[in-house]
A and B are shown apart, each in its own frame.
Chain A
Amino acid sequence: MANIELDLPQLDVPQLDVRDGVDRETIETVAAMGAYKYGWATDIEMDYAPKGLSEDIVRLISAKNGEPDWLLDWRLAAYRRWLGMEEPHWAMLTYPKIDYQDQYYYATPRSMAVKPKSLDEVDPKLLATYKKLGIPLKEQALLAGVEAPEGERRVAVDAVFDSVSVGTTFKAELAKAGVIFCSISEAVKEHPDLVRKYLGSVVPPTDNFFATLNSAVFSDGSFVYIPPGTRCPMELSTYFRINAENTGQFERTLIICDRGAYVSYLEGCTAPKRDTHQLHAAVVELVILEDAEVKYSTVQNWYPGDEEGRGGIYNFVTKRADCREARARVMWTQVETGSAITWKYPSCILRGDDSQGEFYSIAIANNAQQADTGTKMIHLGKRTKSRIVSKGISAGRAQNTYRGLVSMHPKATDSRNYTQCDSLLIGDQCGAHTVPYIEVKNTSSRVEHEATTSKVDEDQLFYCRSRGMSEEEAVALVVNGFCREVLQALPMEFAMEAQSLVAISLEGSVG
């Protein structure tokens, strides 16, 4: 293997006629934007566990992480249970059968065999990878080329590369505030009591096919603990990169926000262009105690596959927040632009009285992408409130489904939900579907649901173009307007990134 970073074949820039007043460079820049920006791979020596899934593989992953027996047993119990489970097929998704034996469950850069003690010791090639992705692993920088609005604004990063966490920034500074931010494999060693108490307490290992699989084979992920009364001094983030071929990524994130604490957490993900599908089955658990608040924002930009639907990530993810005590609050914001298949329903269990859950989502499906995504709001406590704002955009031949459950338990008296679900269609070969499930088991609670479906209007596009915008800019502007409420819910850096991502994801969807 050559020790250099390789760019995979670039998108062919089609020969376009140069019209008056437009130079070739402009055209090429615009055309190149259509390429998935993160589709290159890092050429690095890897160690793989043998292909396929077995009890031995589960043991091997556990041993690699130097885990205690209780965790190995926990994994094995999940694995055995998984063997008897069936892959769910209720979602509006069609894809060929996944062969769970035909992929790797553990892949790690050889240079990570001995875990580096600090970021300075991390393989320069890995550092270069994150640099190229725009993810700073230096402790002064910001996310992806964004200027700080005022003064400095820092984001701590946990960088996960295939099956392992490469490093976590700002750990020392966060520790001063009492905040624990590290990889979950490290947390198992350093904070076993916390992990043991909370792991699987929101998404039990028996939860569903993919969560059970994850429980058996999760290799790494992020761990966060915010102590009582603490406002986390900076935003925390995890950046997931799948690099190895034929390898699944199974990471697990556990965030515990103790009484009266607050944290804003960001998650980003990318993968190289490959013409085979790759599985990503993550679990995210949020435990939110009395008066605490978590904001969890995701910009999901996994490789979506090509126009014909070759390649791309199969994203089967279980994310759930447990507002375990009174007045706990959670806000999920997601921008889903990538993946060939998205199966994802970040949920809120509103257990504490007066607790609150919010879900803001933009799901874009272009070309042959399929997204089946939404949320579950489970109201258990009294006077609990939830709000759902979902914006689905379909283009090309894509299918986009919003699937949401709002459930009001008999004891969840005087509770409220408001759901707004808007779909936007670009072209006439795509589909948008809305599947709301509503169960109200008491008489004092109220559920409101609004849904709209619209098309990108020719008059809007012409209006924009007559003011000088290209057709693609016009589409991006109109679509960003459609998504505005959700973009506004994102932290600033993410909002800007998401906005340009919306434009890029819809490249080639008109004309």
Chain B
Amino acid sequence: MLEIKNLHVKLEEEDKQILKGVTLSIGAGEVHAIMGPNGSGKSTLSYVLSGRDGYSVTDGSATLDGADLLAMEPEVRAAQGLFLAFQYPVEIPGVGNMTFLRTALNAQRKTRGEPEISAGDFLKLVREKAKALKIDADMLKRPVNVGFSGGEKKRNEILQMAMLEPKMCILDETDSGLDVDAMKLVSEGVNALRSAGRSFLVITHYQRLLDHIKPDVVHIMAAGRIIKTGGPELALEVENNGYADLLAEVQ
């Protein structure tokens, strides 16, 4: 599904290397987790994969089902099935949440050459998905993320994911700022989407989330590199001992 090879990324504006050779392979239906200290480059990786401006790839590659991701515009990546749940979801004043969802969904369909979804079908779909995430009618009408609590923003990201049905989902610290109940809702939302054809890359600081969303593979990232890869037990090790030992091991 997602193949990242030796990815080197620096900032466009200043000469600062952030990713220093990331290699990662996620098969269809797999759930991978990335853990790592603050500033190690996790968000940068997710932004570069989804096509945000401001970075330049100096070496390496990233493909989605064999297609060169890095050559596509962000919207084309989305239409091809890549989705990023943002660490900090963006507010868009005056644009109703529903309008946003419908515009996004239809834009992707258009890019793929599919017909637009009818207003009726859309409403039905959004109500059903929103209900599972305990998102009420009011929140669907409010402007995108404006005045949303931290938990509401994260649930809203999962709602978008559920509506857009991507095949490769990247979740950037979707658990941070969530209380226990919200964490449960979000995890259930993610788990409901797990399927043989859909893969996940879950970026997190905490083992806690991985109790709910069971990963197949756990990677530890530090200073722009993946320094260790293992099974779910690796996350527990980090939880108990922190990163210090792992970092020392590498050095």
Contact = CB atoms under 8 A, between A and B. Distances in A.
Nearest to A479: B94
Between A20, A23, A463, the greatest number of chain B beta carbons within 10 A of the residue's beta carbon is seen for: A463
Nearest to B99: A477
Contact of A20 (B67, B83, B86): B67
B100 A468 contact: no
B79 A462 contact: no
B95 A478 contact: yes
B74 A481 contact: no
Interface residues of B, number: 39
B174 interface: no
B29 interface: no
Contact of A23 (B50, B104, B108, B113): B113
B78 A477 contact: no
B53 A477 contact: no
A97 interface: no
A22 B160 contact: no
B111 A481 contact: no
Contacts of B51: 462, 465-466
A481 B94 contact: yes
Interface string A453-493: 00001111011111111110100011011111100000000
B164 A21 contact: no
Contacts of B93: 481-482
Interface in A1-30: 19-23, 26
Contact of A463 (B73, B92, B99): B92
Interface residues of A, number: 29
B214 interface: no
B78 A26 contact: no
A131 to B, nearest CB: 26
A29 to B, nearest CB: 9
A473 B53 contact: no
B92 A470 contact: no
A447 B74 CA distance: 46
A477 to B, nearest CB: 6
B80 interface: yes
B74 A462 contact: yes
B108 A480 contact: no
Contacts of B92: 460, 463-464, 477-478, 481
B213 interface: no
Contacts, number: 101
Given A22-B76, A480-B95, A482-B94, A466 B84 contact: yes
A19 B76 contact: yes
A464 B143 contact: no
A467 B52 contact: no
B72 interface: yes
Contacts of A463: 86, 89-90, 92
B53 A467 contact: no
A20 B100 contact: no
A462 B43 CA distance: 14
Contacts of B89: 463
Interface in B35-76: 50-53, 67, 71-76
B191 interface: no
A481 B50 CA distance: 24
B64 to A, nearest CB: 11
A385 to B, nearest CB: 24
A101 B89 CA distance: 59
Contact of B103 (A19, A23, A473): A473
Which interface residue of A21, A463, A467, A481 has the most chain B CB atoms within 10 A? Answer: A467
B83 to A, nearest CB: 8
Nearest to A487: B94
A465 B72 contact: no
A352 to B, nearest CB: 34
26 contacts: A19-B72, A19-B73, A20-B67, A20-B72, A21-B111, A21-B112, A23-B113, A457-B90, A458-B53, A462-B74, A463-B90, A466-B77, A467-B107, A468-B104, A468-B107, A468-B111, A469-B75, A469-B103, A469-B104, A470-B73, A470-B107, A471-B75, A477-B95, A478-B92, A480-B94, A481-B92
Given A22-B111, A457-B90, A465-B74, 6 more contacts: A465-B73, A466-B51, A466-B52, A466-B84, A477-B99, A481-B95
Interface of B: 50-53, 67, 71-80, 83-84, 86, 89-95, 99-100, 103-105, 107-108, 110-113, 143, 160, 164
Interface of A: 19-23, 26, 457-460, 462-471, 473, 477-478, 480-485
